[in-house]
Structure 1
Amino acid sequence: MEDKDAQGFQAGHSGLIVTIPEAEPAVRAWRDRLDPSSRAGVPAHVTVLYPFLDASRIDQGVCAAVGELLGRHQSFEARFDHCGRFPGVLYLAPETDTHFRRLTEAIVERWPENPPFGGQFDDVIPHLTVAQGQDEVVLEEIEADLVTNLPIVTRVSSVDMLVHDGTLWRRRASFALSQARLRWWAAR
């Protein structure tokens, strides 16, 4: 018996994401209609790594290792200033994606048995999915709406671990990025 829900998400799957709450006003209505992950409880986000470990393998040791690894990375500002496309998919693209890529690379280096998206793509492009499975006319309509709300700027200071329970994605843990630079300025 296959243990999958209607959107194809499997119970026990986990992922690491950066939530982008500042994008919600611009993307929520579109995502709720046209992105299955939104209907399954995932907020506007950029994926760091999916799939990660099966939930049965995630214990305090794994969480401590993820936290220590991500804590080596500085928080950063992300600016989403344009839309991009994959076939049938519309997304918001960060102005620069270097910081997102470094987070993914660090996690994959530590857990190489979990390549991004199961190794499906040669180059993983950091993005915030807005709609998928749509034809060009629909994507053009959505993009015309979205560009009026750009840029969207956020401070990335943590990475969340989500686990699918068979129905919804739920946050299992949150890992802070380093705030060392901010603390140094605050201390002066």
Structure 2
Amino acid sequence: MEKLAGATKTAIILPIPEAEAVVGPYRRVLDHTASWPVPAHVTVLYPFVAPDRITENVIDDVQACLATIPAFTCMFSHVAWFGQDVMWLAPDPDAPFRALTEVVVRKFPECPPYRGAHLDPTPHLAVGSTHLADLAGMQRAATDLQAKLPIHARIDRVRLIAGADTPGSWRTVSEFALPPA
């Protein structure tokens, strides 16, 4: 598959285009994945299947999993933190995000979320981390960002993406529509 050339990793994400205008300026400065370019998103499953194992059958299996969860709406109304390292937006409700992760992991048990480090991962839209920014800068951004919330979003698309830890490398391999609610 041409879209996988040079890829070393894959992920399944829920792009949140409604958030781009608000979080995009922060992510460009605070989130290293913005340069890859991975859009504002909530992760369904990372890492996913190795790029050399992505086949039409895998894509069909992902599509079948996702067909069980209908499209939904959510709101991102507050900034949250993982320790002092990662600033993120919390979706409300988070249950549909968790359900998407559960159905995909059930089909692909060899791909536990975050390599098994977080078996029940917290759905989140990452805005920044100390990987790129200092804590004081992230705290200022969090205060500024909180004043721009809430963000309302319709979650009706899921993407399988592939790339490497280098700027400009991530691409959409396949996009899936969630069934109407």
Q: Fold conserved (TM > 0.5)?
A: yes
Q: Secondary structure at 1:79's aligned position in 2?
A: strand
Which of the numbers 36, 43, 46 marks the counterpart of 1:40? 36
Instruction: Kindly name which structure, 1 or 2, has the bigger radius of gyration based on alpha carbons.
Output: 1
Q: What is the CA distance between 1:68 and its match in structure 2? A: 1.3
1:67-98 CA-partner distances (Å, limit 9, x unpaired): 11101111000110101101211001112210
* Structure 1 pair 150–109 and aligned structure 2 pair: CA distance change class (3 A): same
Match of 1:66 among 53, 62, 65: 62
What are the equivalent positions in structure 2 for 1:46-85 lying under 5 Å apart?
Answer: 46-85=42-81
8 Å CA contact retained: 1:163, 1:171: yes
Task: Compare relative contact order (CA 8 Å, sep 6+) and give the higher one, 1 or 2.
Answer: 2
Which residue of the partner structure matches residue 86 of structure 1?
82
Deviations 1:23-52 (A, max 9, x none): 111111111111111111100000000000
Does residue 144 of structure 1 match 2:143? yes
Contact conserved, 1:82 with 1:95, CA < 8 A, in 2? no
Partner SS, residue 83 of structure 1: strand
Quick one: distance in 2 between partners of 1:96 and 1:129?
17
Q: Partner of 1:131 in structure 2? A: 128
- The whole-number CA distance in structure 1 between the counterparts of 2:119 and 2:160 is 24
Q: Following TM superposition, by how much is the alpha carbon of 1:137 offset from its aligned partner in structure 2, in angstroms?
A: 2.2
Match of 1:107 in 2: 104
| Residue number among 27, 32, 41 corresponding to 1:31 in the alignment | 27
Number of equivalences: 171
Q: Which runs of 5+ in 2 are unaligned?
A: 1-5
Q: Distance in 2 between matches of 1:37 and 1:137?
A: 20
Superposed CA RMSD in Å reads: 1.5
Give yes or no for the alignment of 1:117 onto 2:118: no
**Superimposed CA distance per residue, residues 120-166 of structure 1 (whole angstroms, 9 cap, x where no aligned partner):** 12431000000101444222211111112111011101110000057
Structure 2: how far apart are the matches of 1:52 and 1:122? 14
Identity across the alignment (%): 39
Counterpart residue number, 2:3: none
